[in-house]
Amino acid sequence: MYKIAKENLTALFRLIAGAQELYLPVKTADQVNFGAWSEDAEVDLDTLKSVKSPKDAFFPQSENLYTCRKDGKKISIEPEALKEQNFVIFGMKACDVRGVEVLDKVFLADPVDTFYAARRDHGTIVSMACHEPEESCFCKVFGIDCAEPAADVATWMVADQLYWKPLTEKGEALTKIVESVLEAADNADEKSVEEEKAAIRGIVEKLPYSNLSLGGWNGEVLTEKFDSALWEELYKPCLACGTCTFVCPTCQCYDIKDYDTGHGVQRYRCWDSCMYSDFTMMAHGNNRTSQMQRFRQRFMHKLVYFPANNDGMYSCVGCGRCVEKCPAALNIVKVIKAFEKQGGEKA
């Protein structure tokens, strides 16, 4: 394990950015989102959650697939180049790292999504333990330990020191690049990191959502949950906006669209939301015609369909962004609790 004083972080970022692209939580117009590092970017490592999850780094909100150009009678088709530049994403939290694992299941399974795979190959994830988890967090429910994040390099911010621990080959390679600004950590340091971990876990125990029970949600309960009358009640306040999907670290549905540039067509894909009325619209129409069905789709996908196809892995990571951001204060926790309550009443 290594360490670096908080005030020297800029030197660390400068070194990384000298060798690779660097993305980290940056504050713009009062909101923290992942963005490219620059000398005058306002880096914010204290805010626990970025508004948007960092999934953009691997699965951007919109990306070009190819461009057609018409030049007189000549038509050319230019496929978009795959990511070739190495990059580092710094400061991802444990839940967001699990989010990437969920995306891997989708995009790296056969047929492999080449755009995504290229980004995964070239990206190095530096995660950061959650110093002060918040009341909307429920990662523990999904077996995520926010005190000990996975990733290529794990880091802990304890007082004024950042502790740096490479976990994979990629992580070792990155450590080599920044070696000159890192110091080796001694036993006392190891101890303070252990204390920090214990403190974080202690807090997680106290969080209101940490005892949420996922009993009754798995790949086997499809028809039972699908046919439940509860959805009719639960969806009512839903405004059909896409906030929950767009801030979610695991939502992976996208739409492919063409844009008329006047001199050709640009085909791009962009995130889609199951909350939108034209989601999965086909020539014959739409197979989910009511908001109740669209609302149900989101939660069934996360808690039933996804585990059914991925060895029981839920596609929710408990980051709590939807809990914080939904305009109508709806969220996955309320859905889980409502079903739990109903189950209790039946029994």
Partner 1 sequence: MQELIKRAKELLEDGTVARVLGWKAGDLPYNPEPAYFDSTESLADFVYNGFCGANLSKYLIEASKLEGKTLVCLKPCDTYSFNQLLKEHRIDRDKAYVIGVGCKGKLDIERIRKMGIKGIEQISGAEMEDAADTLTISTIYGERSCKFADAMLERCHVCKGKEHQVYDELIGESKETKDADRFAEVARIEAMTPEEKFAFFQKELSKCIRCNACRNVCPACSCRKCVFDSNKFDSAQKANVDSFEEKMFHIIRAFHVAGRCTDCGECSRVCPQGIPLHLFNRKFIKDIDEFYGEYQAGMDVNAQSPLTDFTFGDVEPGIVGERG
Partner 2 sequence: MSIEAKEEFRPKIVAFCCNWCSYAGADLAGSSRLGYPADVKIIRVPCSCRVNPMFILRAFEKGADGVIMCGCHPGDCHYSTGNYYARRRMTLLFSMLDYIGVENGRTRVEWVSAAEGVKFSTTMNEFVEKIHSLGKNVRLGDLRCRN
Residues engaged in binding partner 1 (CB under 8 A): 28-31, 33, 48, 51-52, 61-62, 132-136, 203, 206-208, 236-237, 239-243, 245-247, 255, 257-260, 268, 270-273, 276-278, 281, 323-325, 327-330, 333-334, 337
263 belongs to the binding site for partner 2 (CB under 8 A): yes
CB of 62 to partner 2, least distance (A): 11
Residue 271 binds which entry of partner 1, partner 2, none, with Cβ cut-offs from 5 to 8 Å by kind? partner 1
CB of 28 to partner 1, least distance (A): 6
CB of 78 to partner 2, least distance (A): 13
Nearest Cα to 135, choosing from 339, 325, 334, 323? 323
262 belongs to the binding site for partner 2 (CB under 8 A): yes
Residue entry with tokens 């029981």:
312
Distance between CA atoms of residues 110 and 342, nearest Å: 39
Distance between CA atoms of residues 102 and 278, nearest Å: 25
CB of 243 to partner 1, least distance (A): 4
Distance between CA atoms of residues 214 and 250, nearest Å: 18
Among 266, 309, 310, 342, binds partner 2 (CB under 8 A): 266
Distance between CA atoms of residues 333 and 212, nearest Å: 8
Residue 263 binds which entry of partner 2, partner 1, none, with Cβ cut-offs from 5 to 8 Å by kind? partner 2
Distance between CA atoms of residues 206 and 282, nearest Å: 47
If the CB atoms of residues 5 and 253 are measured against partner 1, the closer one turns out to be 253
Nearest Cα to 152, choosing from 187, 119, 128? 128
Q: Tell me which residues in 242-261 interact with partner 2 (CB under 8 A).
A: 259, 261
Residue 124 binds which entry of partner 1, partner 2, none, with Cβ cut-offs from 5 to 8 Å by kind? none
CB of 129 to partner 1, least distance (A): 16
If the CB atoms of residues 51 and 308 are measured against partner 1, the closer one turns out to be 51
If the CB atoms of residues 64 and 210 are measured against partner 2, the closer one turns out to be 64
Contact 186, 22 (CB under 8 A): no
Distances from the Cα of 41 to the Cα of 10, 33, 79, 128, angstroms: 11, 12, 32, 19
Contact 221, 42 (CB under 8 A): no
Distance between CA atoms of residues 13 and 248, nearest Å: 27
If the CB atoms of residues 268 and 339 are measured against partner 1, the closer one turns out to be 268
Nearest Cα to 115, choosing from 254, 291, 304, 294? 254
If the CB atoms of residues 189 and 196 are measured against partner 1, the closer one turns out to be 196
State whether residue 297 is helix, strand or coil. Answer: helix
HSE on the CB side for 117, CA within 13 Å?
A: 10
Binders of partner 2: how many residues, by CB under 8 A? 5
Structure tokens at 172: 């070792």
Residue 91 binds which entry of partner 1, partner 2, none, with Cβ cut-offs from 5 to 8 Å by kind? none
Spatial neighbors of 284 by CB under 8 A, at least 6 apart, are none
CB of 68 to partner 2, least distance (A): 12
CB of 257 to partner 1, least distance (A): 7
Contacts with partner 2, residue ranges (CB under 8 A): 259, 261-263, 266
